[in-house]
């Protein structure tokens, strides 16, 4: 594992496992953990040749040394083997506390995939129908209207019209509901959402939904991808259908079984010293985000945001991704090997029988649906950079590329620069954790470096 301080000349030790990708299957022979010196700014051709992912490690170390981010935790797993486990830099504003593997991060929108799994569990329980109107479970959503520009008026003047079709649970899962975040656009509806304070921390999930339902939708349901508060609405749906608060459902049905002991909407006092400081770039330099500018573990709110409220660690989120890569089961054991392709049109059925010794959180069919493009012909200009598709709570690469992620690779990121991806063709999982507000570019750069080590 790489560790180091940004306040001193950066020389770190890297611990790396690697597989003989060409000589033998990963399950047949792997090397144990081996120490390797990494000195940023210096070429190490011999080491790079011996370790396929040394260049990715160098990339991370150099970024910390140059101040792109204060600290980072990155994990890469290939065919069930962790081939990279790096913790570099510091997790505090002063640069005095080293970044560690168990550092706790605000993962923001990486929460969406967890919420999607919760909904799919309720589908398999027979309590939710993806194609039923969302108002069947949330009566507040009955009679919604859609904003439309008034004819012959200024661009900011609107009237409202009825929905042409009812919003379904599937629309919420794939963000074609018509709901928006507000801060990502400049339309009249965007401004209305911002003024209403939908995601104000003092709101309960019930308060959030009630306020949201009083506003018009930005688009007709099912007609356009609009990244917004759909996953927060799903969080409320989970509460209403299950009869449990969202944090309780997550803990008992997902985090507990997966051993995600450091994941939740709050951080216990005894763990708060492990929370990474959050930064924002100002004048080209990183400045600590002050009170109110980011999730604050010392001041938890009432809102349990299904779209962006979780704290987690890299190992915890790796456990979540492993479950998806293995088709819904906990290791060891799965019905399908990670490299197999899902069916083109995945339909969710009841839980399937897997290895008797491997507990199953979801059926293979549910996982296939979640990690497959659900938008089809629905326009989604925002997603062009991530591969054009969107499943349930995450993007899906629908393009064919010679380099980088394979077709079908799924993943997403968070507001503070975190990110993950699951590549079923390569049997690979990547986890990237920093705390830089509004800087997703770093996750993309690490992903590109990691794929070079995979020969893509």
Structural domain span for residue 55: 1-100+426-456
For residues 185 and 63, membership in a common domain is answered with: no
Q: What is the mean pLDDT of residues 177-205?
A: 94
Residue 299 lies in a domain: no
For residues 8 and 110, membership in a common domain is answered with: no
For residues 233 and 308, membership in a common domain is answered with: yes
Cβ–Cβ under 8 Å, residues 234 and 306: yes
For residues 87 and 112, membership in a common domain is answered with: no
Q: What confidence score (pLDDT) does residue 382 get? A: 82
Residue 128 lies in a domain: yes
Residues of the chain with pLDDT > 90, as a percent, come to 72
For residues 329 and 455, membership in a common domain is answered with: no
* pLDDT tens digits along 227-240: 999 999 999 999 99
* pLDDT tens digits along 358-411: 689 999 999 999 999 999 989 998 887 666 899 999 999 998 888 899 999 999
- CATH number of the structural domain spanning residue 332: 3.40.710.10
Q: What confidence score (pLDDT) does residue 357 get? A: 53
For residues 83 and 205, membership in a common domain is answered with: no
Residue 420 lies in a domain: no
Q: What confidence score (pLDDT) does residue 358 get? A: 64
For residues 35 and 74, membership in a common domain is answered with: yes
For residues 349 and 234, membership in a common domain is answered with: yes
Residue 281 lies in a domain: no
For residues 123 and 155, membership in a common domain is answered with: yes
Residue 277 lies in a domain: no
Q: What is the mean pLDDT of residues 53-74?
A: 95
pLDDT of residue 46 exceeding 80, the answer is: no
Residue 337 lies in a domain: yes
Q: What predicted TM-score, i.e. pTM, was given to this entire model? A: 0.85
């Amino acid at each position: 594992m790489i560790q180091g301080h940004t306040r001193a000349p950066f020389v770190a030790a890297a611990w790396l496992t690697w597989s003989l990708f060409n000589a033998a299957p990963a399950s047949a022979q792997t090397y144990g953990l081996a120490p390797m010196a990494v000195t940023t700014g210096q070429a190490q051709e011999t080491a790079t040749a011996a370790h396929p992912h040394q260049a990715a490690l160098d990339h991370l170390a150099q970024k910390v040394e140059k101040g792109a981010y204060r600290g980072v935790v990155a994990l890469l797993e290939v065919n069930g083997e962790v081939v990279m486990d790096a913790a570099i830099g510091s997790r505090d504003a002063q640069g005095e506390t080293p970044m560690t593997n168990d550092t706790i991060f605000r993962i923001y929108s990486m929460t969406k995939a967890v919420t999607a799994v919760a909904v799919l569990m309720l589908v398999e329980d027979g309590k939710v129908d993806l194609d039923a109107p969302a108002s069947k479970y949330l009566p507040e959503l009955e009679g919604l209207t859609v904003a439309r520009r008034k004819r012959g008026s200024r661009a900011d003047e609107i009237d409202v019209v009825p929905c042409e079709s009812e919003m379904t649970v599937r629309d919420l899962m794939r963000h074609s509901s018509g709901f928006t975040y507000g801060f990502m656009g400049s339309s009249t509806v965007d401004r209305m959402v911002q003024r209403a304070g939908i995601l104000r921390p003092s709101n309960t999930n019930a308060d959030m939904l009630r306020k949201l339902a009083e506003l018009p939708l930005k688009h007709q349901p099912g007609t356009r991808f609009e990244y917004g508060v759909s996953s927060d609405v799903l969080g409320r749906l989970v509460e209403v259908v299950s009869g449990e608060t969202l944090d309780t459902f997550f803990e008992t049905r997902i985090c507990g079984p997966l051993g995600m002991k450091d994941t939740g909407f709050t951080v216990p006092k005894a763990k708060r010293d492990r929370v990474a400081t959050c930064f924002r770039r100002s004048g080209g330099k990183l400045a600590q985000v002050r009170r109110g500018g980011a999730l604050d573990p010392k001041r938890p709110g009432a809102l349990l945001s299904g779209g962006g409220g979780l704290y987690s660690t890299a190992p915890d989120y790796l456990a979540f991704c492993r479950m998806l890569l293995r088709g819904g089961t906990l290791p060891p054991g799965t019905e399908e090997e990670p490299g197999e392709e899902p069916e083109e049109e995945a339909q969710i059925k009841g839980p399937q029988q897997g290895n008797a010794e491997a507990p199953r959180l979801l059926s293979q069919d549910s996982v296939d649906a979640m990690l497959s493009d659900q938008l089809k012909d629905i326009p989604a200009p925002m997603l062009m950079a991530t591969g054009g598709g969107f499943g349930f709570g995450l993007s899906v690469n629908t393009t064919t590329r010679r380099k980088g992620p394979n077709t079908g690779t799924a993943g997403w990121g968070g507001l503070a620069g975190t990110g993950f991806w699951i590549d079923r063709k390569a049997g690979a999982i990547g986890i990237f954790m920093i705390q830089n507000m509004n800087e997703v570019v770093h996750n993309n750069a690490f992903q590109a470096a990691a794929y070079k080590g995979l020969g893509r």
